[in-house]
């Protein structure tokens, strides 16, 4: 559905990109597909894009143009960020002939940056009491993820056409492990993984395949798993250590808390400013199949 903001058409691809980012963030956070929330995410994406357009429109009218010196400085910083002029041209896909366009875009973006700084400028001191309250309210931001340390035996299904026989062989090795056999020695002799991949070291959720994490994160230290399967083959795991999730002490993350505190308040100020712009804005959204004949009767 095409959108116009104060008469300015919005590129539908901007909404699509924003929608994808919002959905991806929620799915990564919850570790599940969020297809049933697509309408919610799309509505949020539209509002985010409309807000950025309104902010840009206001900046172009209210903020003085950047000086040539400011643009020169921004160009040099841009090249530096890319690792030099050659890398900038190659990676950004521009040539020396395109620099006029680049400078114009820098000028546009620079005015928006100046406006945002004006809106979000806060110099007040923040008390330890306020920071501690923020820390407690957002404790999940300062909580480390739980980790597991494990050993791994793996048998590939590609090595046999008789899966049942391979499974039984894995069960026999597990029986030996339960009877006291050394896990690392059995793995060196039996696993289809190289020796340096027997000890997996520390890992968090989301770093290994789901089947392996489901099992190992449910185990106790020293426990040997049953033989379990994945798409790739059969596995046996032994948890050698675990580190539960825990909150970092306030004093050790105080600087980060202050940064997050200021960022939240700046975002609040920016949101309020955009909402005020939205009140007087003319935003139109038309259906893609809506047709307006050139000579429609009045």
Looking at residue 245, what DSSP letter applies? -
Largest CA distance in the chain: 91
The share of the chain scoring above pLDDT 90, in percent, equals 80
Interatomic CA distance for residues 136 and 197, integer angstroms: 40
| Number of residues assigned to the chain | 298
Least confident among 76-85, 153-162, 240-249: 153-162
Q: Helix, strand, or coil here: 255? A: helix
* Nearest of 245, 240, 234, 244 to residue 150 by alpha carbon: 240
Extract the tokens encoding 129: 């009491």
Look at phi and psi of residue 31 and say left if phi exceeds 0, alpha if psi is from -120 to 50, else beta.
left
Query: Mean pLDDT, the chain, as a whole number?
Result: 91
Residue 293 has pLDDT above 50, yes or no: no
Residue 292 has pLDDT above 60, yes or no: no
Span 178-200, average pLDDT? 94
- Alpha helices of 158-290 — where are they, by DSSP H? 163-178, 183-190, 210-216, 254-280
Angle, helices 163-178 vs 183-190, to 10°: value is: 160
How many of the other CB atoms lie within 10 Å of CB of 292?
6
Q: pLDDT (tens digit, 9 = 90+) per residue, 101-138?
A: 999 999 999 999 999 999 988 777 899 999 999 999 99
Q: pLDDT (tens digit, 9 = 90+) per residue, 28-61?
A: 766 556 678 889 999 999 999 999 999 999 999 9
CA distances from 284 to 5, 10, 82, 84, 273 (A): 7, 10, 39, 43, 20
Angle, helices 38-62 vs 254-280, to 10°: value is: 80
Q: Helix, strand, or coil here: 182? A: coil
**Contact 187/198 with Cβ under 8 angstroms?**
yes
Q: Where are the domains of the chain?
A: 66-119, 146-244
* Nearest of 36, 34, 16 to residue 26 by alpha carbon: 34
pLDDT confidence bin for 197, thresholds 50/70/90: very high
Span 158-168, average pLDDT? 88
**Fold of the domain spanning 146-244:** Chitinase A; domain 3 (3.10.50)
Interatomic CA distance for residues 239 and 151, integer angstroms: 6
């Amino acid at each position: 559905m095409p959108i116009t903001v104060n008469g300015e058409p919005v590129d539908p691809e901007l909404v699509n990109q924003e929608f994808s980012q919002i959905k991806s963030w929620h799915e990564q956070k919850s570790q599940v597909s969020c297809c049933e929330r697509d309408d919610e995410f799309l509505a949020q994406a539209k509002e985010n894009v409309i807000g950025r357009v309104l902010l840009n429109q206001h900046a172009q009218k209210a903020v003085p143009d950047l000086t040539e010196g400011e643009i020169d400085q921004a160009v040099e910083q841009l090249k530096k960020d890319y690792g030099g002029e050659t890398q900038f041209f190659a990676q950004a896909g521009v040539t020396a002939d395109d620099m006029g366009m680049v400078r114009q875009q820098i000028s546009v973006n620079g005015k928006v940056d100046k406006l945002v700084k004006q809106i979000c400028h806060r110099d007040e001191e923040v008390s330890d009491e306020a920071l501690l309250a923020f820390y407690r309210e957002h404790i999940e931001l300062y909580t480390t993820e739980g980790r597991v340390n494990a050993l791994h035996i793996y048998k590939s299904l590609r090595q046999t056409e008789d899966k049942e026989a391979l499974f039984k062989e894995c069960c026999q090795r597990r029986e030996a492990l339960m009877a006291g056999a050394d896990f690392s020695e059995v793995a060196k002799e039996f696993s289809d993984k190289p020796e340096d991949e027997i000890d997996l070291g520390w890992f968090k959720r989301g770093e290994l395949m789901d089947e392996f994490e489901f099992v190992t994160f449910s185990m106790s230290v020293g426990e040997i798993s049953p033989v379990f399967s994945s798409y790739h083959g059969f596995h046996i795991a032994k948890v050698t250590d675990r580190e539960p999730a825990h909150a970092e002490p306030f004093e050790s993350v105080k600087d980060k808390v202050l940064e997050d505190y200021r960022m939240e308040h700046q975002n609040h100020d920016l949101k309020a400013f955009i909402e005020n712009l939205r009140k007087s804005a003319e935003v139109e959204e038309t259906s893609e199949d809506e047709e307006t004949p050139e000579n429609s009767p009045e």
